[in-house]
Every structure is written in C-alpha cells, then in structure tokens.
Amino acid sequence: MNCSELLQNLNAYLDDELSPSLKGAAQTHLSACRSCSVVVNTCHSTIQVYRHQYHQLPAFLHRKVMDNVNRRTRPLVR
C-alpha cells in the first residue's frame, strides 16, 4: 500500500471497516510512513475530541477542523 492508497482508505481505516488484508497493509504502511501516521493520528485525535468533549461543536468550528484536515492531507493525495 502506498500513501495515496492509504488516504483513499482512510475513512474505512478510522472506522475499522477495512478487510483484514487491507487493514494489515495499512498498518504496515503506517509503521513505515511518518506522513501518513501523522495524518491518521490527527484524524484519530479529532474524532476522539468530537466524541468525548465537543459533541455539539458549532458548525463554523466543524468547518475549520475539516478544512485543516483537508489541507494537511491534500498534498499527499495525487
């Protein structure tokens, strides 16, 4: 799996919905690729914050967070 493939499967990975073989490939890539592990950790932290602290985040803040995530991931998706 390369960076682009990982990012294409990012949502499914974060939701733990990948097949065992894809999940294994993603984990192997993440252990070797710092850029992708930063993206995954950032998304994971964001999700945790949403779930546990800011359940009712105002829409403008939600947009800001998502813009930030998109800006960080865009240079990797080619």
The stretch among 12-20, 31-39, 46-54, 64-72 that binds Zn ion (CB under 5 A) is 31-39
**Residue 38 found at the interface with Zn ion (CB under 5 A):** no
**Residue 33 found at the interface with Zn ion (CB under 5 A):** yes
The residue type found at 43 is C
Query: Strand, helix or coil at 10?
Result: helix
Inter-residue long-range contacts of 46-55, CB under 8 Å, 24+ positions, other chains counted: 47/14
The stretch among 8-16, 18-26, 36-44, 47-55 that binds Zn ion (CB under 5 A) is 36-44
The stretch among 13-21, 34-42, 50-58, 62-70 that binds Zn ion (CB under 5 A) is 34-42
For Zn ion, the closer of residues 61 and 77 by Cβ is: 77
For the purposes of burial, counting CB atoms within 10 Å of the CB of 13, is it exposed (0-12), middle (13-18) or buried (19 or more)?
Answer: buried
